[in-house]
Structure 1
Amino acid sequence: MGNSHHVDGRAPVHGFYSSSSWIEGAAVRQLEMVADLDGVRAVAGLPDLHPGKFGPVGCAILADHIHPGFVGSDAGCGMALYQLDLASRRIRVDKAADRLRDVAKPYDGDIAGELAAHELAPSDLDASLGTIGGGNHFCELQAVEQVFDETAGIDRDRAFLLVHSGSRGLGHALLERHVADGLKPLAPDSAEGQSYLVAHDHALRWARLNRDVIARRAASALRCEADPVCECSHNCVVHRSEGVLHRKGAAPSDQGLVVVPGSRGALSYLVAPLATAPKEALWSIAHGAGRKFDRSSMIGRVGATRSDRERLARNPFGGRVICEDRALLAEEAPEAYKPIAGVIADLESFGLARVVASFRPLVTVKKIAVERRHKEDRR
């Protein structure tokens, strides 16, 4: 059932992580603070748990009301995995990296047409459609490391594409509108609650389209086709008969296969959530490795020298990491994250999921430097 504890007057807190999961005390205290809020019914901490803003990341929260802060500033942020009609053995990493670099540039396609085709109303923030964004977002070309379930349809000879991105400016604007007068819960049937949900649902659909456009851009660069394997959101509100479920850096366990990525220097895992998982996990599993060190503490810890930056531009599997922002390269170094093997082991030992396949990173695209204008444009 997990490591559960219940304090009188506080919702139960269920922890699905072992003593070796590197769970900070600050994150546990945040879980307990959330459980102490009026109307919160239960809280589940997952093995990627770490401190965050407005509550810990790597948790699920069941409540009576909508809490925009629990969703955060990137509603709809999530993962999408695609199988490519491209043999992984034919990939030349450096050549693929050169082709995929353009995915980090602004999308120059028909944004209005994409929105219309998916029945999404236009907004002032649509120029970022088809772009990865900053932070821990990425587009990654992968090869199969191992298949554990041959019935899942994973072709070990094919290349795969994993896209991690969200709603970009839409999610940020949504949260800003609802925290301008301070964080407060919203009744689901109130005018304010309904207004939030309409914008929230739009952001989730926009984020899903964003991941799909990124995948199509990457597949086009590699001259292949991409077929979706699975897709989900990590930051969202879900209405259930039991209450309002918030996932704050947590993947759903009731929507089929889920990708749980490691750092950009580690394996990613495709897992099948178990129908027999304890209900205390609140229909959720871990969404990734989870941070071991916060961003600010990574500055100066790694990436200070040229040789160290060159090391970070390669992964232990001989793959490439395209990130031309020195600060971001340090913040997102593999050392900043927990070992993914431990997170996966906890998911298995607590009966939350079983492993279907693992993937190694070949090329990770994050951010490129802003290109200078041509000389003739600067005269």
Structure 2
Amino acid sequence: MDNSIQILSEKVSLIASNKTWIDGLAIEQLEGTAELPNMVKVVGMPDLHPGKGYPIGAAYLSREIIYPALIGSDIGCGMGFWQTDISIAKLSIDKLTRQIGNIDQPDTRHKYNLGTIGGGNHFAELQKVSKIFNEQLFEHYQLDAKKLFLLVHSGSRGLGHAILQNQISRFGYQGLADESPEAHEYLVKHDNAVAFAMLNRQVIAERLLNNLNSHGRELLNVCHNFLQKVTLDHNDYWLHRKGASSALDELVIVPGSRGDYSYLVKPIQNEALLLSLAHGAGRKWRRADCKSKLDTRYTIAELKRTKLGSRVICEDSRLIFEEAPQAYKSIDSVIESMQQANIVTVIAQLTPILNYKTQGGH
């Protein structure tokens, strides 16, 4: 089951089946990152796609040097997942759309927009279970297929951005010796941003569930942009994840685009693949290309409906095009690649019901 693991060089591996679309530029960036000083190994996930200098959807292992630029500006970005008490029986999407309200304004006017989703590919989504693949694990985690689930994808908002901008203004994109005062200073800020991002997802969920007159049980709250110290083969390393979930987490949700499925999985740890998983579907199109590819084929109203019958709340015309399902890879090809690499056990497939991005208020 490991035919999706491609060894590109001594330092570079890629998880991708023959059905997985991978941009050649992303592989070039992955190979370039492997040449950074003290970089030991890099592994691209099946959602790998080009980023600003470094690819997104990858894990990077270094020795004695940390690279803040690899983590990027949205430190702590990740996924939170809640079992709600909203019954799917007699479900009205019209009613949910009215009830969900507007959470674009920050909670208690916090400086860094606590409790807000943000732009880009961030979202909150109500979902229902469409298929159970592992009944034993589904029951073990006391999941209820008769109730909706809430998925929140967001990060550290302005805080992470401020940390990276300060870092670049002082040191550029170079790495920092891990025992240096500058590295320690960054790591403290990094950990604060991770904590903020996790809290942000919890506050978003609380605000949305309150609007929906519902309650939720947190099933997971995990990051995919963060730095972690790990010990492999009795040696200490720094593991950077940029758009890669941790296989050390008990449960991980891997979302598709707003018009595709999400999958709840249990990670299987593999040190050779840097204890990491894909974090989502991964982009196919650059943001700048989306509007020209779509606006002659679809109206904005049409883009607020998906082929799976779900609705989209997005009062930002730019984002409605940039985040269209067509701009993303098929999530099924990503999941299949990870199954072939034997790094996940798939528990359940979830279908989107209502995707919230912005009401356009902030």
* TM-score, normalised via structure 1 length: 0.89
**1:361 pairs with 2:346:** no
Match of 2:246 among 252, 276, 279: 252
* SS of the residue 2:151 aligns to: strand
Q: Deviation at 1:20? A: 2.1
Measure how far apart 1:6 and its partner are: 2.4
Match of 1:121 in 2: none
Distance across 2 between alignment mates of 1:190 and 1:144: 48
2:131 equivalent to 1:132: no
Asked if structure 2 preserves the Cα contact closer than 8 Å seen for 1:147 and 1:154, the reply is: no
SS in 1 for 2:294: coil
Aligned residues of 2:107 and 2:116 also touching (Cα < 8 A): no
- Please tell me the residue identity of whatever aligns with 2:82: Y
5+ unaligned residues in a row in structure 2: which ranges? none
Judge conservation of contact 1:303–1:312 (CA < 8 Å) in 2: no
Could you tell me which residue of structure 2 aligns to residue 325 of structure 1?
A: 316
The 5 Å alignment of 1:32-111 reads: 32-64=31-63, 65-103=65-103, 105-109=104-108
Report the 3-state secondary structure (helix = DSSP H, G, I; strand = E; otherwise coil) of the residue aligned with 1:265. Answer: coil
Output the CA distance in 1 between the equivalents of 2:9 and 2:360: 49
Give the counterpart letter for 2:287 in structure 1.
R
Residue identity opposite 1:20 in structure 2: K
What is residue 165 of structure 2 aligned with on the other side?
176
Which segment is superposed worse, 144-153 or 324-333?
144-153
Matched residue SS, 2:115: coil
Aligned residues: 349
2:73 partner amino acid = S
CA shift at 1:303, angstroms? Answer: 3.3
Q: Give the Cα–Cα distance (whole angstroms) in 2 for the partners of residues 194 and 157 of structure 1.
A: 47
Instruction: Provide the identity percentage.
Output: 42
Choose the corresponding residue for 1:201, options 188, 191, 210. Answer: 191
Deviations 1:57-96 (A, max 9, x none): 0000000211011100100000010000121224310110
Structure with greater proportional strand content: 2
Question: Could you tell me which amino acid in structure 2 is paired with residue 234 of structure 1?
Answer: H
Q: Pick the aligned partner of 2:276 from 284, 288, 295.
A: 284
- Mapped to 2, the partners of 1:108 and 1:195 lie a distance apart of 28
1:108 shift after superposition: 4.2
SS at match of 1:197: helix
Tell me the CA shift for residue 148 of structure 1.
1.5
d(CA) in 1 for partners of 2:358, 2:313: 6
What's the RMSD between the two structures over aligned residues? 1.5
Do 2:48 and 2:56's aligned partners in 1 also have CA atoms closer than 8 Å?
yes
Could you tell me which amino acid in structure 1 is paired with residue 60 of structure 2?
I
Alpha-carbon distance between aligned partners in 2 of 1:44 and 1:33, rounded to the nearest angstrom: 12
- Structure 1 partner of 2:28: 29
In structure 1, what is the equivalent of residue 7 of structure 2?
4
- Residue of 200, 206, 213 corresponding to 1:210: 200
Partner of 1:28, secondary structure, is helix
Cα distance in structure 1, aligned partners of 2:261 and 2:174: 39
Contact 1:101 1:322 survives alignment (8 Å): no
Displacement of 1:317 in angstroms is: 2.3
**Residues 303 and 368 of structure 1: CA distance in aligned 2, closer, same or farther (over 3 Å):** farther
Q: Secondary structure at the match of 1:89?
A: coil
Task: Judge conservation of contact 1:262–1:340 (CA < 8 Å) in 2.
Answer: yes
Q: AA paired with 1:201?
A: D
Distance 1:150 1:110, change over 3 A: farther
CA contact (8 A) 1:54 1:69 kept: no
Q: Which residue of 1 aligns with 2:329?
A: 338
Secondary structure of the corresponding residue to residue 136 of structure 1: coil
**Alignment partner of 1:301: what SS?**
helix
Contact 2:75 2:160 in 1 (8 A): yes
Task: Kindly provide the amino acid, as one letter, of the partner of residue 77 in structure 1.
Answer: C
What is the alpha-carbon distance in structure 1 between the residues aligned to residue 283 and residue 101 of structure 2?
26
Distance, in Å, in 2 between the alignment partners of 1:173 and 1:108 is: 19
Listed one character per residue, the Cα deviations across residues 239-296 of structure 1 (whole Å, up to 9, x for unaligned) are 1124000000000011111000000001100011114x3x221000000000011101
Q: Given that residues 298 and 330 in structure 1 are in contact (C-alpha distance below 8 angstroms), is that contact kept between their aligned partners in structure 2? A: yes
Provide the secondary structure at the position in 2 that maps to 1:363.
strand
Q: Distance in 2 between matches of 1:91 and 1:188?
A: 53
Task: Give the alignment's TM-score, normalised by structure 2.
Answer: 0.93
The aligned amino acid for 1:244 is W
Kindly provide the CA deviation profile for residues 166-187 of structure 1, in whole angstroms up to 9, marking residues without a partner as x: 0000111111111114211012
The farther-off stretch of 150-159 and 194-203 is 150-159
In the aligned structure 1, how far is the partner of 2:358 from the partner of 2:86? Answer: 24
Q: For residues 263-282 of structure 1, what are the structure 2 equivalents within 5 Å?
A: 263-275=257-269, 277=270, 279-282=271-274
